Amino acid sequence: MVTFSSRGNFENIDRWLGRMSRREIFSALDGYARQGVDALAAATPTATGETAASWDYEIHKTFGTYSIRWTNSHVDDQGTPIAILLEVGHGTGTGGYVEGIDYIMPAIRPIFDAIAESVWREVTSL
């Protein structure tokens, strides 16, 4: 049998959580999302420029969880996103294959790092 006991209270953590709940840590997400769109547009391989110009974003908040979803509206005749075809590669109509180019994660990784650094600074500043 395992038994645990504790003494004291949770005043310090309750106070800290109260301060955190009054701050809008993620208010800068819109700026980071826009930076992501710019980074993705700049990194997207271009023939016509349509795919690069089709990046956008959505910010979602669900049950205290925030997320940024980068989207690209340029699709082929079957509805497949061209950005994904460029990333992972695709077959051609004549039996050939076009190799993909790893450009999405390298473009967006600095944005993830900046978000993590910003949130860490905010959390540790209290």
pLDDT at 55 over 70: yes
Handedness of CA 21, 23, 27, 29 (dihedral sign): negative
Query: What pTM was computed for the model?
Result: 0.75
Please tell me the distance from the alpha carbon of residue 45 to that of residue 107, in angstroms, as a whole number: 12
Q: Looking at residue 123, what is its pLDDT?
A: 76
Mean pLDDT rounded to a whole number for the chain = 86
pLDDT of residue 103: 92
Neighbours of 104 (CB within 10 A): 19
Q: What percent of the chain has pLDDT over 70?
A: 90
Distance CA 44, CA 51 (A): 7
Percent of the chain predicted with pLDDT > 90: 44
Indicate the domain borders of the chain.
26-124
In sequence order, what are the residues at sequence separation of 6 or more whose Cβ sits closer than 8 angstroms to the Cβ of residue 60? 66, 67, 68, 69
pLDDT (tens digit per residue) in 66-103: 889 999 999 998 899 999 999 999 888 898 998 989 99
Which residues face 72 on adjacent strands? 55
pLDDT at 22: 61
**Going by DSSP bridges, is the β-strand pair 89-91/65-72 parallel, antiparallel, or unpaired?**
unpaired
Q: How far apart are CA 86 and CA 76, in angstroms?
A: 12
Position 23 pLDDT exceeds 70:
no
Provide the pLDDT for residue 26: 63
Which sign does the torsion angle of CA 35, 30, 120, 61 carry? negative
**pLDDT greater than 90 at residue 7:** no
pLDDT of residue 57: 95
